Structure 1
Amino acid sequence: MLYNKIDVHAHYLSPGYKKFLKDQFNDMGDGVKTPDYSIDTTLSIMDKTKIDYSIISISSPHINTGEASGTLELANEVNDYALTQHSKYAKKIGFFASVPMPYVDESVQVINQVAKTGQAAGFTLPTNSRGTYLGDPKLDPMMQALDDAHAIVALHPNAPGIVDSNVNPTVPQPILEFFFDTTRTVVNMLVNGIFTRYPNIQFIIPHTGAVLPLVANRIPLARSLNPDLRPEQLDIQSVMGQQYFDVAGMVLSQQLPALLELIDPDKLLYASDTPYTPTPVVLDLANRLETTDLLSQPMKQKMFNQNARKLFSL
């Protein structure tokens, strides 16, 4: 590995979260086998990939147990586990706190508690929680709490709220549906004014913007079909210009060039997506990013390290 890295999209599994995945998903959350995990998993991958600092977070299907009290309990458990790792490995491990979305009162409670301690790097939010999508007006108090905290929020895809079992039933959800859900969620947030009404939140959009780089030019055309939409509800260019994007996954040779036509390279952040992405694949993808001719050496330094260091004041 040629470049020292800061990883903004790495996952962990606490004991309570492992139990949740086993009890509710038979260890196949969103169709993905629960990986073996301890904090040593993260530390080993960091060493192999030349990652100096990892900001760990909970992955899909996230933590909604189906009712408020259980979701709040699980949120506290996963956050306590992450805080323990951060305290033990302060120079190597940070974390995004999980929020008991879509339960608004409980979510506001957790956001305020986490913000008060100041230990988390930010928060992670799923694109949807059992069908309640970011941008839904009933989540506005949660968004206001994040805005009040000047929070950094890393979005993460979930399987769609409604899945048609007759369409692509053998294709795992992360392959297609995660990208579609990220895209529909960002547009839903845009149309509902999340980015303008809560300007103090800095969002990180995963997987190089998912499908957004390919459809960004289409979004403003919606007004020609629905004149009731206001121009600011379709101003995806402003979103692309102001938010950050992680490069988790196979972003070369198609996604990253398309995204770079729309954003400043200073908004790119390195991401490994471990341990759900196997270590040999993480190494291969990192090598492709390190050696690509698409990015200059200064751009690579920013993507791998400097942009995150500035964003998180590391």
Structure 2
Amino acid sequence: MLYNKIDVHAHYLSPGYKKFLKDQFNDMGDGVKTPEYSIDTTLGIMDQAKIDYSILSISSPHINTGEASSTFDLATEVNEYATTQHNKYPDKIGFFALIPLPYVDESLSTIKQIATDGQAAGVTLPTNSRGVYLGDPQLDPIMQALDDQHAIVALHPNAPGIIDSHVNQDVPQPILEFFFDTTRTVVNMLTHGIFTRYPNIKFIIPHAGAVLPLVANRIPFARGLNPKLTPEQLDIQSVMSSQYFDVAGMVLSQQLPALLELIDPDKLLYASDTPYTPTPAVIGLANKLETTDLLSPSLKTKMFRQNAQRLFKL
């Protein structure tokens, strides 16, 4: 490995979250086998990939149990686990706290607790929680609370709220549907004014923007088909240039160059997506990013470390 790195998209599995995945998904959340995990998993991958600091978060599926109280309790458990790891390895491990969406009172209570504790690097939000998507007006009080905190918010795709079981039933959800759900969610947030009404939130959009780099030029044309939409509701270019993007997954050779045509290169962040991405793949993908001629050495230095240092004040 040639570059020291800060990883903004790596995952952990707390004991409570493991139990949730086993009880509700038979260890196949979103069609993906639950990986073996302890904090040593993260530390071992960090050593191999030359990652100096990892900001951990809970992956999909979101912790919504279908009931407010137990979802709140699970959010508390996963956040306490992450806090423990951060305190044990303060120079290596940070974390994004989790909020019990879509339950407003419980989420506001959790945000208040996160702010009081002052340990989390930010929060992570799923694209949807049992079909309630970011941008839904019922979540506005939560967005306002995050805006008041000037929060850094890492988005993470979830399986869509509605899935047709007869289409692509053998293709795991992360391969296609995660990209579509991220794209769907960001556009929903845009049309509902999330980025303009809550300007103090810094969003990190995962997987090199998913499909957004390919459809960004189409979005403004929606007004021709629906004149009720305002130009501001379709100003995806402003979102692309102002928000942050991570490079989790296979972003070369097509996706990342398309993204870089639209974004501020000072807002590009390294991401491993461990442990759901197996360690050999993490090493291989990092090596491609390190050695590609499509990125300049100065951009690589920014992406791998400097941009995250500035964003998180590390």
- Which residue of 2 is the match for residue 75 of structure 1? 75
User: Could you report, residue by residue, the CA deviation over 1:148-192 in whole angstroms, capped at 9, with x for unpaired residues?
Assistant: 000000000000000000100000000000000000000000000
- Which residue of 2 is the match for residue 270 of structure 1? 270
- Which residue of 1 is the match for residue 249 of structure 2? 249
Distance 1:147 1:66 in 2: 26
TM-score, normalised to structure 1, is 1.00
- Which residue of 2 is the match for residue 261 of structure 1? 261
Q: In structure 2, what residue type is equivalent to 1:95?
A: F
Determine if the alignment matches structure 1 residue 190 to structure 2 residue 190.
yes
Distance 1:227 1:44 in 2: 54
- Which residue of 2 is the match for residue 291 of structure 1? 291
- Which residue of 2 is the match for residue 102 of structure 1? 102
What 5-or-longer segments of structure 2 have no aligned partner? Answer: none
| DSSP-derived class of the 1:30 partner | helix
User: Could you report, residue by residue, the CA deviation over 1:107-152 in whole angstroms, capped at 9, with x for unpaired residues?
Assistant: 0110111012211000000000000000000000000010000000
Distance 1:161 1:101 in 2: 14
Distance 1:225 1:261 in 2: 26
Q: Once the 2 structures are TM-superposed, how far is the Cα of residue 82 of structure 1 from its aligned partner?
A: 0.0
Distance 2:135 2:258 in 1: 25
Distance 2:190 2:227 in 1: 16
TM-score, normalised to structure 2, is 1.00
Distance 1:111 1:33 in 2: 30
Q: How many pairs were matched up?
A: 314
- Which residue of 2 is the match for residue 44 of structure 1? 44
- Which residue of 2 is the match for residue 55 of structure 1? 55
Q: In structure 1, what residue type is equivalent to 2:196?
A: T
- Which residue of 2 is the match for residue 136 of structure 1? 136
Distance 2:180 2:52 in 1: 31
- Which residue of 2 is the match for residue 151 of structure 1? 151
Q: Once the 2 structures are TM-superposed, how far is the Cα of residue 309 of structure 1 from its aligned partner?
A: 0.2
Determine if the alignment matches structure 1 residue 199 to structure 2 residue 199.
yes
What 5-or-longer segments of structure 1 have no aligned partner? Answer: none
User: Could you report, residue by residue, the CA deviation over 1:32-57 in whole angstroms, capped at 9, with x for unpaired residues?
Assistant: 00000000000000000000000000
| DSSP-derived class of the 1:175 partner | coil
Distance 1:254 1:70 in 2: 42
Q: CA RMSD in A?
A: 0.4
Q: % of aligned pairs identical?
A: 82
User: Could you report, residue by residue, the CA deviation over 1:239-281 in whole angstroms, capped at 9, with x for unpaired residues?
Assistant: 0010000000000011001001101211100000000000000
Q: In structure 1, what residue type is equivalent to 2:221?
A: L
Q: Once the 2 structures are TM-superposed, how far is the Cα of residue 304 of structure 1 from its aligned partner?
A: 0.0
| DSSP-derived class of the 1:184 partner | helix
> Runs of 4+ in structure 1 displaced over 6 angstroms?
none
